[in-house]
Amino acid sequence: MRRCGRAAVVSVGAGLLLVLTAVTAGAAPIGVGIVHRAAPTGSSPAAAPASRAVHAAAASNAGVLVYGDARFFGSPTTVSLSAPVVGMASTPDGGGYWLVAADGGVFSYGDAVQHGSAGGIDLYAPIVAMASTPDGGGYWLVALDGGIFAFGDAVFYGSMGGRPLASPIVGMTSTPDGKGYWFVAADGGIFAFGDAVFYGSMGGRPLMSAIVGMAATADAKGYWMVGADGGMFSFGDAAYEGSEGSANLPASVAGMAVTPDGKGYWLAGSGGAVYAFGDAGSYGGDDGVVAQMPIAGIVATPSGHGYWLLEPDAFPTTFSHPGTGSKIVSIAASQIATNPDASQGLFCNPYGPCEEWCALFASWAWEAVGVAIPKYPFVGDIYTWAAANTHVLSATQVLQPGDAVLYGTGPSSTATAVHVGIIAQVWPDGAIDTIEGDSGPGPYGYYSVTVNGPYLPSHSKEYNGVGIFAVAVP
């Protein structure tokens, strides 16, 4: 997430695809991930209806970008989704892949077989990651609260669902034999199940940036975790091959993938850049493009000679739900796209003058459905208007779709009121998805309307790099 409202521009933060990574090496399953009710501890859900399964070939590689020997097999560009796509996993031969949405819907392409989904389950917390079994005969989905869903030949070995967590789960990876798995939390905490062994963690230790994902070594005797700033942490026999932790990256890191021999890895930036270390080859990326959508994660091909980048905002998402804010969400969601007016110059947009426009977008969305609010260029003005005309809430109160999340420390100036997003979805555990204008990862002045989340408002500073000072009600 970047800051706007006439404030200084900063790099895209951990938000957006903080929750989208889970990758393993060698013959082990390969996956990445970003979600409603978690499976109860000690249970494994039966296969849900396969209505969300899709076997199709799109005309272009929209949403799933291919590099090296990675091939495009299709993506849900013609399906209206009720929650954003948040994760991906490939089949053992690289001839197909699965995509998973935050509501647990699973989409299958190529030789990937649909083994069920959580799309028909009332989830308590959103899905944040997935991983497949070694033979491709099943997969796991993990939720923000650590609940696990097992399908096909994937076995349930335990979960954190229903247990208190210091920080939300952001990724998972399985052991090469598929008889265990690890979860990683945003604070670097590691949770091991089945034959997965605990080799250490960053839990309880100070971090410069939140953890966004993990990967395991081919022999399951170690693992890495990566932070949103590109910092790498190695445990067990996982070898440190370098990091971007000391670099001034143009956008935050969204995920990682490892080479088959575990002697190298790639880091994927949310702006599309791919950073290779060790014996990982450089096969290209999606950075440096004015009109682009955020990258959510990276999945390596089984050969290690290529990778896929996941671009979830390319898939149409309606956030369908009942409620008074549904019209606001619908109008905001209709604008999700790359920079709407890039050809006209820096910060040009269809919602107002050529200036930083996150507040212009949010107030435009309210006004478009009949809310009597002016088109404000300053985030603090939305707070002032709501305080005088409707309501302002704290981030800990019950939030609704259509509300506006105000980021920063207060409404007094552009230094304290730095960004705003429209709440598109509220999960039972309190996690939210937002739609935000003037949002990364494009080059300076060329920004987009993007989806951010799901994340817990109480963890906004950890997830987005900035807290929430208020929520404005339309």
303-334: pLDDT as tens digits? 999 999 999 999 999 886 655 588 999 999 99
**In the prediction, which pLDDT does 443 show?**
82
* Amino acid 3: pLDDT: 53
Residues contacting residue 49 through CB under 8 Å, at least 6 positions apart: 117, 119, 120
10: left (phi over 0), alpha (psi -120 to 50) or beta: beta
Residue 1's pLDDT band (boundaries 50, 70, 90)? low
The pLDDT of residue 250 is 86
Q: Residues 108, 116: contact at Cβ < 8 Å?
A: no
CA distances from 247 to 16, 228, 250, 414, 442 (A): 20, 12, 9, 27, 19
User: Which are the contacts of 280, defined by CB distance < 8 A and separation ≥ 6?
Assistant: 241, 258, 259, 264, 265, 266, 304
Name the 3-class secondary structure at 471: strand
Round the average pLDDT of the chain to a whole number and report it.
86
Q: Please give the span between the terminal C-alpha atoms of the chain, in angstroms, as a whole number.
A: 23
CA 54 to chain centre: 21
Lowest mean pLDDT among 59-73, 139-153, 267-281, 452-466: 59-73
pLDDT in tens, 110-133: 999 999 999 989 999 999 999 999
Rounded CA gap, 368 and 364, in Å? 6
CATH topology classification for 23-314? Neuraminidase (2.120.10)
Predicted model pTM: 0.87
Most confident among 25-39, 105-119, 241-255 (mean pLDDT): 105-119
Nearest to residue 128, comparing CAs of 18, 276, 244? 18
Pinpoint the residues of the chain covered by CATH 2.120.10: 23-314
DSSP sequence for 311-340: -GGGS-B-----STTHHHHHHHHTT-BS-T
**Residue 292 reports pLDDT greater than 80:** no
Angle at CA 278, nearest 5°, toward 277 and 279?
Answer: 115
Residue 278 has a pLDDT of 97
Please, where in the chain does CATH 3.90.1720 lie?
326-473
pLDDT category at 2 given cuts 50, 70, 90 is low
Which residues, 6+ apart, have CB-to-CB distance to 205 below 8 Å? 188
Of the two residues 60 and 119, the one the predictor is more confident about is 119
The CATH code that applies to domain 326-473 is 3.90.1720
